[in-house]
Structure formats: C-alpha cells, structure tokens
Amino acid sequence: MTLFFFIALLLIAVIALYEIMSMVWPLQIEKIWKVLLSTLLLTAAFKEVIFRYLGGKMFFAPLLPRWLILTGALMFNFFVLALFLAVLKDVIWLTWKFCRALGMTSRSFPAGEASLFAAAIALFLTLYGTWEAIRVPDVTVHDVYLPGLAKEFEGTKIVLLVDLHASALNRKPFIQSIVDKTNILSPDIILIPGDFVDGPVEERKNDLEPLSTLNAALGVFGSSGNHEYYSGYEEWKKQLSKYGVMILENEHVMLTSNDSNLVIAGIPDQQGANLKGNGTLSFEAPNVEKALQGAPNNAPVILMAHRPETVKKNAQAGIALQVSGHTHGGLMPFIGQLIAFFNGGYIRGWYNVGTTNLYVSRGTSLWSGFPMRLMDPAEITLFVLHSQEK
C-alpha cells in the first residue's frame, strides 16, 4: 500500500466518522437503525476500495454489472453531498450555540430535526444529480467566427462529442441515442477528442458500435483521451477506424472546397507518453507542430486536444479553434473549483488564449466512478462556422 493510498483511506475514514456523528447519531431513531445507517455510510465511503476488490484494478471498475455501478454511485454520491450538508448544518449549529451563549435565544438547537432535514436534501440532490449525469444530453448551439474562413465553409456545421465513456454504465442504447440526436443535426463534420471508452475492446466494442452510424458529409474525426490508454489504445484505435472514426495522432486532414481549405488536426493525450516507462509501449506525446506540418498557412485550423490546458502551448501554433473536454464541466459546485485548479483554470465554455478560441465541453457523458452533475448538464455541442463576426 502506497503512502498516498494510506493517507487517502485515513481521510475517507475521518470524513465518514464525521458524517456519522453529525448526520446519523443526532437522529431520533432506535439505536439499531443508527448502526445500520452508519454501516451504509461507511460502505458508501469505501465504495472504490470495495469495487477494486470486486471488479479488478481498472480505474473505478467499469466492467462491473450496471446495477452494481449505479447502486455504488448513488451511495457514494450521497456520501459526498452529505458531507457538504453536514458542514452547513454544523456551521448553523455553532452559530446557534454562539447566539445562545450571548443570551439571544434560550432554545436548544433541534439537532435531530436538522440532521433529518440535511439528509433529506442530500438524498434529493443525489437522486437529481445522478439522473442528470446518466440521461441523454441536450444540444447546445454556438455560432463561431473563424478569421480567414473561406466563403465555401460559411455555415459549416460541426458537432463536438467528447467524454462518451462507454462503460457498463453507459451501454449501447445510450450511445445510440447520442448518435441519433447527432445525426438529426445533419453535421458536416463530427469531432470526438477523446475518452471514448472505459474497458477493453472485447468488453465494450458492442457498446460503441453505434458510432459506425454517425453521419457527417466531410468526416468523423477523433483524438485520444487519457482513458483510451487505460483501455488498450492500439486496439481501440483500430476498432474506432472500423466504426469510421479517423483518429488524428499529431496529424491533420485538409478539407478542400474549390481552392479553399479548412484544417482539422488532432493531438494525442499526454497519458500515452506518461506510460512509456513500460518497455513495450511507445505512444506519441502531443506535438502540435508535428500535427500541423504541411498545413497551409492561410487556412484556419481547428484542433482536437482532449485536455484544455494544452491550449497554452497550442495557441502559439496559430490555432483558430481548439475543442477539448476532460473536465466534465466541473460536475458540481465546490468540486468544480478543484477540477479547474488541476486543469489550468479551464473548466467549461469559451476562453480566449491569444488569437485562439478554446471551447471546453461539459462532456457528452462521464465516467462511471462519480456520475454526478449539479448545475452542470452534459451536452452535444453544435458549432456553426462563420467568416464574419455576427
């Protein structure tokens, strides 16, 4: 057991004990029920450890049965939300105590009722946030001004799908619904910059098979995310090409209409290069200069890069638009700030970096480890390109 893992377990245990003391013990119920609820909270807290034991070492065990992943997710989501509610309740309790000491009230704090109320809110948010995380996303539409865009490409429709995370939680019918919703938009180009899947090809190829029915007049292009490297990147690259998704690995394609060009480029995720320590692997690191070798100077470039913070380097190469994902939009308040911190401050929506526009999608789906979305719905993103600012 690494020191980091040990500290993480200790921290989780402390949080679980705090929640039990704050939320369960003040409840006015029989002791046997308190013991039962405390056991459930402890189980929820150590969900990842239990899933690792049941489902193997893969990140958050995406191969376990769907009902088990969903049950575990509901329990863990409640554990996370109950922490915020417990802290809020205890701040009110301390304020009440302070006011009582000053003689502002003689009533004692209704601890049992407050704990019950906080737990009820946590339960409601758990059910709503989990539903929001696993439902088929809505379409968001953006008009995008690309300097230098030729009139031939005026009105070009690009659909961005990212973070599909096909897993035991996100099965074939879910992916098919996303594909159907995408095709209705009649896109010219479809871009999928990574995190297609959690799990090896043999387990998940059926779930991603609907990608083969994606319809885009000028092509369907992708680039790798970090999760492809946990799932067998080389095999997935071949499988995705069978589905008609062209993976761009430090490469570009030039779309030409009359004598005008539009460049679509892709760089791989850094995770592949990080795995190079294993002697059998030789994945490329992201290299925007290599991706653009031979591209014409006067054509606007749209770059797929899974992680948004890569824009700081990519912008120097004169990219017009970078599309990214990875952050899942932050998932929920407070946790979103933490995710932004680890992603160069980029979390969702539009950013200007030099002359480059960066769009960070909230993700079309998300991974099975923490399926939770509050004030952060998933999205299928439609860009309509324009040569003039609207």
Site of interaction with Fe ion (CB under 5 A): 195, 225-226, 326
Q: How far is the CB of 14 from Fe ion (least distance, A)?
A: 29
Tell the burial category of 138 from Cβ atoms under 10 Å away from its Cβ (0-12, 13-18, 19+): exposed
Looking at the Cβ atoms of 157 and 307, the one nearer to Fe ion is 307
Looking at the Cβ atoms of 26 and 137, the one nearer to Fe ion is 137
Give the DSSP H/E element, type plus range, for residue 359. Answer: strand 356-360
Looking at the Cβ atoms of 225 and 300, the one nearer to Fe ion is 225
Q: How far is the CB of 75 from Fe ion (least distance, A)?
A: 24
Q: How far is the CB of 348 from Fe ion (least distance, A)?
A: 14
Spatial neighbors of 353 by CB under 8 A, at least 6 apart, are 311, 312, 315
Q: How far is the CB of 363 from Fe ion (least distance, A)?
A: 9
Looking at the Cβ atoms of 226 and 270, the one nearer to Fe ion is 226
Q: Which of 221, 164, 222, 144 is CA-nearest to residue 189?
A: 221
Looking at the Cβ atoms of 319 and 339, the one nearer to Fe ion is 339
Tokens of 357: 């526009």
Q: How far is the CB of 361 from Fe ion (least distance, A)?
A: 11
Q: Which of 267, 203, 201, 276 is CA-nearest to residue 234?
A: 201
Q: How far is the CB of 4 from Fe ion (least distance, A)?
A: 20
Residue 109 CB coordination number (10 Å): 18
Residue of closest CB approach to Fe ion: 326
Looking at the Cβ atoms of 130 and 223, the one nearer to Fe ion is 223
Q: How many CA atoms lie less than 13 Å away from 335 in the CB half-sphere?
A: 18
- Which segments of the chain are extended strands (E)? 138-145, 157-160, 189-192, 219-222, 246-247, 251-257, 260-266, 301-304, 321-324, 349-353, 356-360, 379-386
Look up residue 105 and give its amino acid: T
